[in-house]
Chain A
Amino acid sequence: MADCMDPISRNKHIIKIILSIITCVVVILYSYNSFSYSKNICFKCHKKSQFAGKVIHPPVAKGECVVCHNPHCSKYKGLLRYKEAELCYSCHKKEKQIFANGIEHEPVRKGQCLTCHNPHSSNFSYLINGKLSNRCFKCHKKLIRHFAYIHPPFRNGNCIACHDPHHANNSLLLKATADDICFSCHKKIKMLKVHKGFPCNNIGDCLSCHSPHGSNNKYMMRKYLHKPYKENCSICHKKGKVTAEDCLRCHKDISKKLLSIHNHLLGAHGNGCIICHSPHAGDSKFLLRAPQVLLCRKCHEDTYERNQDSLYVHPNISNCAECHQVHGSSRLAMLKEDGNKVCTRCHETQGKFTHPIGAQARDPRTGQEMTCVTCHHPMGTNYKYELKLSGKEDLCIQCHRNY
């Protein structure tokens, strides 16, 4: 081919090759210089011993500080090149994709990798900031840790035996369904032997009786027992499946609440009660399967996320039942009462002296009664006082258009 070229084209071709080689050499030298720069210069001030540990982040080990830090200036803390998670995911691309599915652990969702990991070095695997359990309990302070009988993984601080610290497809970030996790250690055949007389000779729903962390009762039985469970299983387990109707036969006050526009009869093949309540035992008086906010979050993940992502949120929002009627309500969003009464139980002053509200004050846009929730969204907004729009002007002119 080259023989066919005229001398001018051949020279041009050679010049192109030489230029490409020079460019490559310059790039390599520049990269080498910048890494060696960080190797040699950074550690002059930042003592190398600060980055020592059993596990060292590979860029640190190679002295490639500039992979993450800009040595001159940055708009991010620690002279980081990008925002925390953005920087991590620039290398850990696979993880970013995996975490995007299912329920994310709060720090993962907020992109706060450094809540659990040390980006330089650690004496613990996966660059965890200290011992795993200590790290978990730093946030999960309310978890009771001292019991007479403790589940060994919990005692050993091996939280990740059951929970996934990043994301999961099951609530409570469980790695699999609760039963699957239990039976991965406690073999089903053995368990059948010690659970004689279990309906249909099939055991399951372990957490409806046992506490997964620990208990002061033998066999880690939960604190409160359902009366029929304590007395005689056959009170509920007669023939066939136990339905919600069976539950409501005793809990008559609840059946009245279900005759509301919205209720939490959730299908569940005939027994929606056991989605939230354990039919056997529980750690709370109402035999809830989990603390209330976690229980509600199981289905209302979107509401929880909106609340977490909002700048302004109503305080003490973890007790959903404070404002919502959890079994059934004929008011919007299953509130206990209408949008005024439910708020003025606490906000007494605003109930007496405020923008006109109530049956006489109508929203000109819809003709609906003006209530507190016409302007406020207690689950959280990005405006002060949980207003739906900016209180300076934007919100008011929605109705007062002539101003």
Chain B
Amino acid sequence: MAKKTYVFSVIEIIEVGIMKNIKWKCVIVCICYIILRTISCYAQNTPWHWILTLRGDASRKSMDMPYSLYVDKATSRYYVVDTYNNRLLSFSKKGKFLHAFSANQKLKLPMAMIHDSNSILWIVERGKNALVKINLKTKAINVFHLKFHSMELFPDRMHEYNGIIYLLDKMTGNIYAFSKELKLLHCFKAPNSSLGFIDFKVMRGALWALAMEDQSIYRFNLNGDLIKVIHLSKKMEFPYSLAIGPTGMIYVADRHKNCIFVFDGSGEYRYSFLNLGQDRGKIYYPSEIDFDPWGRLCIVEEGNGRVEIFGR
């Protein structure tokens, strides 16, 4: 009898709670609340999980040294810059391969791209050391060799924000903002780092740039004024790319350690996840990380020739 008193099945508890005693109702609600709360907390702390992988084209030609990713929110498409294969690959939001574009095999080591609303592709081509403008409607191709104070620029990474093109120059480590007419608007410099920046992102009215040398994030307003320097509290081996999460968390890809470090907005280390490998959910020589418009973390892997997309 004593056993029966203390050992309840879940159904019995529910029956008792709902049908017989109001006290039990409260107990069940409390237990459910605690369980759900625990699950949600656990989910927040759990490292990201793999969702899908973008790799190669339909003819199974795999990517070779992909360098960057561009996500077009309007068309819900991913564009991967497949650098060594001299082409751009597009994928649907679900990861289905759509097209490969090589501008009639005229692309020479593309490094970054933008697809603007006027059907114009802007491509940084390392092989020509130029910014190339391709009008997809007229098929016109214009090649621009950029200069700043008569010094030739060496464009590397590129992003677009509110119709402005932002370019990272490898020659100086500075970031330059250009209008679509390629008129220089602003310059973003790292005052404390002699090597300059290695990556940057533009979002929410600010430019965030990563300096490898002093392992810091520099936050600028879009006029080029330095607002804040965030020193990252955890020492990394080779910080190479950064992304700013939807909640303001800072994500940094360590190219040599093959993992992602996560910091809060003030630069305090929170956790790191992923490690070296070729299997799904592992990374090898990450070259760029970024969040897509749906809050998923995309990691371009040069070593594994793919883009892995992670969600919570």
The answer to whether A and B come from one shared complex is yes
Interface string of B147-168 (1 = CB under 8 A from A): 0000110100000000000000
When chains A and B are docked, how far (Å) is the Cα of A207 from the Cα of B195? 20
B285 lies within 8 A of chain A by Cβ: yes
The answer on a CB contact under 8 Å between A244 and B171 is yes
The number of chain B residues with a CB under 8 A from chain A is 41
The answer on a CB contact under 8 Å between A368 and B172 is no
Chain A positions 356-403 with a Cβ under 8 Å from a chain B Cβ = 362-363, 365-368, 374, 398
Asked if A259 meets B278 with Cβ closer than 8 Å, knowing A267-B197, A367-B60, the reply is no
The answer on a CB contact under 8 Å between A330 and B278 is no
- Chain B residues with Cβ below 8 Å from A269 are 172-173, 194, 196
Chain A positions 227-285 with a Cβ under 8 Å from a chain B Cβ = 243-245, 258-261, 263, 265-270, 272, 275
The answer on a CB contact under 8 Å between A270 and B56 is no
Instruction: For the complex formed, measure the closest distance between the CB of A249 and the CB atoms of chain B, giving whole angstroms.
Output: 11
The answer on a CB contact under 8 Å between A330 and B65 is yes
- From B32-40, B72-80, B301-309, the one touching the partner chain is B301-309
- Chain A residues with Cβ below 8 Å from B174 are 267
**Chain A interface residue bracket vs B:** 20 to 34
Name the residue of chain A whose CB is nearest to the CB of B111.
A261
The answer on a CB contact under 8 Å between A267 and B305 is no
The answer on a CB contact under 8 Å between B127 and A267 is no
Say which residue of B65, B172, B196, B303 sits within 8 Å of A261 (CB atoms). B65
Counting residue pairs across A and B whose Cβ atoms lie within 8 Å, the total is 95
- Chain A residues with Cβ below 8 Å from B193 are 267
Chain A positions 287-317 with a Cβ under 8 Å from a chain B Cβ = 300, 302-303
A21 lies within 8 A of chain B by Cβ: no
Cβ-closest 6 pairs across A and B: A267-B173, A267-B196, A302-B237, A367-B62, A365-B278, A366-B304
15 further A-B pairs in the complex, CB-CB below 8 A; given A267-B195, A269-B172, A368-B64: A245-B151, A245-B171, A261-B83, A261-B126, A266-B173, A267-B171, A267-B194, A270-B171, A330-B84, A332-B65, A366-B304, A366-B306, A367-B56, A367-B305, A374-B278
Sample 23 A-B pairs with CB under 8 A, ordered by A number. A243-B151, A245-B151, A245-B152, A259-B109, A266-B196, A267-B174, A268-B172, A268-B194, A268-B196, A270-B151, A270-B172, A302-B238, A302-B256, A303-B256, A330-B83, A330-B84, A332-B285, A332-B302, A332-B303, A367-B60, A367-B306, A368-B62, A368-B304
